[in-house]
Amino acid sequence: MSEHVYQKIELTGSSNAGIQQAIENAVAKASHNIQNMRWFEVVDTRGHIDDGKVAHWQVTIKVGYTLTN
């Protein structure tokens, strides 16, 4: 296995469909600008309640990507 150096960024994705979709939205948007993303970790999950129901999710993730030469 080769040696790598990683950098982490923090992103917050949102969705009214659920937690997984919020994560996927954040990763998809970041992939337009960030190459070599390798992993993520969930660091915070929040929701918005409207009229007694869950209306919206926000999920904060840290994404690790490899640095290249």
Q: What is the predicted pLDDT for the residue at 1?
A: 55
Give the C-alpha distances (Å, rounded to integers) separating 10 from 27, 39, 53.
11, 12, 28
Give the predicted TM-score (pTM) of the model. 0.88
The residue ranking higher by pLDDT, 3 or 53, is: 53
Burial class (CB in 10 A: 0-12, 13-18, 19+), 5: exposed
**pLDDT for 11-51, tens place per residue?**
999 999 999 999 999 999 999 999 999 999 999 999 999 99
